[in-house]
Structure 1
Amino acid sequence: MKVRLAQLLLEKSYIEGEVVLTSGKKSDYYFDCKQTALHPEGAYLLGNLFLDMLPENISGVGGMTLGADPLVTAVSVVSQVRGRPLPGFIVRKSPKGHGTNQYLEGMANFAPGDRVVLLEDVVTTGGTLLKVIDRVTDAGLVVAGVHCVLDREEGGADTLAARGFVLRAIFTRRDLLAAGSASHEAG
C-alpha cells in the first residue's frame, strides 16, 4: 500500500519548481496532497495507512480544513469498513459567525476528554498544527497524536516536540522519492 501511495503522490501531488509555502518559506517543490486524497484509490490507501498508524485508545480523528478534510473522511470511512469505527471532526480557520459559532465541526460525535489524533497533509514549520492543537484542546478533547502524509523535515517535528507531541509521518520527502523510484525501477 505504501509503495502504491508513493506512486500516486508523485504522479498527482508532487510538483518540482520554486514556490512560496504557507509558512512564507521558499521551496524547490510543492506538495498538493489533496490531489491524491481526493482520488478514490488515494483516499483508500491514505485511510488504511493512517488507520494502521493510530493508537488503539482513541475516539476519533480530525484536522484543519481544507487539507485534512479528505484525510479525516478517508480514515473515518475505512475505520467503519474495518470494524473500528472512528468519527471525525474538522477544525475551521475561523468560527462560522452564526449558529454555535464554534471552531470544530462534528463535535456531536465526541465527549469532553475524548482522545483524538490530528491528521495533516503536509507539515513544514508546525505552526498551523499548534493552532489546531490549541483549538482542539479548548474544545475539551485530548490530542493523543499528530500524523501527517508528508513531513518536509523543515522544523515541524521539532516545533511539535517542544509542545510534547511526536509527529508521525507516512513519508518524508526523501522516503517518498525513494519509494517512488524503487517502484518505478521495479515496474
Structure 2
Amino acid sequence: MTDDEILAEFRAADALLEGHFVLSSGLHSPRYLQCARVLMDPARGARLAEALAALLPAELGIQAVVSPAMGGVIAGHEMARALSVPAMFLERPTGTFELRRGFRLDPGTRVLMMEDVVTTGLSSREAIRAIEAAGGVVVAAAALVDRSGGAATFDVPFHPLVRLDVPSYSADALPADLAAIPATKPGSRAA
C-alpha cells in the first residue's frame, strides 16, 4: 500500500480528525488518528496489518506479537493474524505494563511489539521493557502510524506502516490558533 492508500483507509473510516486534541502523551495536536475507528472494520484492519507484515524482514523470526492495551490490542491481534503467531497484550493494573489473563512468554520468545500510533515512543519503550521482563526478546517494534516525525527511537528496529509529520505541542507552548479551540481527549487514558 502507498501512503496515500493508507491515509485513504483512515479518511474512509472518519479516523483522521481535525481540531484540538490532548494525546495520551499529554502533548496537544491539531490532528488525531483514531485507530479504533479504522480498525473497527475487520477487513480494513486486515488490509493494514497485512501491508505492514509484508514490510517486516523474514529474518526477524517473530514468534509472538505483544501490544500495549488499549490502543494496540486490535492492531496487535491483526498483525499476529497476518504473521500466523499468537497475540497477547499488556495491561497497567497498577500503573506499570504487565502480562495478565494467563498470557506468558517462554524465555527467549522472539516478539514483535505492536502499537497502533507512536507519538513520543514512551508507551512503546515501556511495553518493550515489560516484554523483556516477562522473558521475551523484542526483535522489532511496529506501528500502523509513526506520527513522531522520526523522533521516536527504540533499541530495536522500528517498522511503521506510514510516517506522518503531525505537530504536537506542550500545553504551555500552544500556537494561538490551537489554544483558541477547546481541547478534547479522545484516547484511552483518562489522565
Whether the TM-score (by the shorter chain) exceeds 0.5 is yes
* Unmatched runs of 5 consecutive residues or more in structure 1: 80-84, 96-101, 176-187
Q: What is the rounded CA distance, in whole Å, between the counterparts of 2:8 and 2:149 in structure 1?
A: 23
1:103 corresponds in structure 2 to 98
Q: Any idea what SS the aligned residue of 1:53 has?
A: coil
2:152 corresponds in structure 1 to 157
Q: Which moved more, 1:9-18 or 1:49-58?
A: 49-58
CA RMSD of aligned residues (A): 2.4
Q: TM (normalized to structure 2)?
A: 0.74
1:73 corresponds in structure 2 to 77
1:178 corresponds in structure 2 to none
- The aligned length equals 160
Deviation, structure 1 residue 17:
1.1
Q: What is the rounded CA distance, in whole Å, between the counterparts of 1:153 and 1:72 in structure 2?
A: 20
Task: State the identity as a percent.
Answer: 25
Contact persistence 2:149–2:165 (CA under 8 A): no
Q: What is the rounded CA distance, in whole Å, between the counterparts of 2:151 and 2:39 in structure 1?
A: 21
Q: Any idea what SS the aligned residue of 2:92 has?
A: coil
Amino acid at match of 1:32: Q
1:6 paired with 2:2, answer no
* Unmatched runs of 5 consecutive residues or more in structure 2: 167-191
Q: What is the rounded CA distance, in whole Å, between the counterparts of 1:46 and 1:117 in structure 2?
A: 16
Q: What is the rounded CA distance, in whole Å, between the counterparts of 1:36 and 1:66 in structure 2?
A: 15
Structure 1 residue runs of 4 or more that deviate by more than 6 Å after TM superposition? none
1:90 paired with 2:59, answer no
Q: What is the rounded CA distance, in whole Å, between the counterparts of 2:127 and 2:152 in structure 1?
A: 15
Amino acid at match of 2:160: A
Change (3 A) 1:4 1:19: same
1:121 paired with 2:116, answer yes
Q: TM (normalized to structure 1)?
A: 0.76
Deviation, structure 1 residue 154:
4.7
Higher relative contact order (CA 8 A, sep 6+): 2
- Higher share of residues assigned helix: 1
CA deviations on 1:59-109 (whole Å, 9 max, x unpaired) are 111110111111122123333xxxxx21111011226xxxxxx9214635x
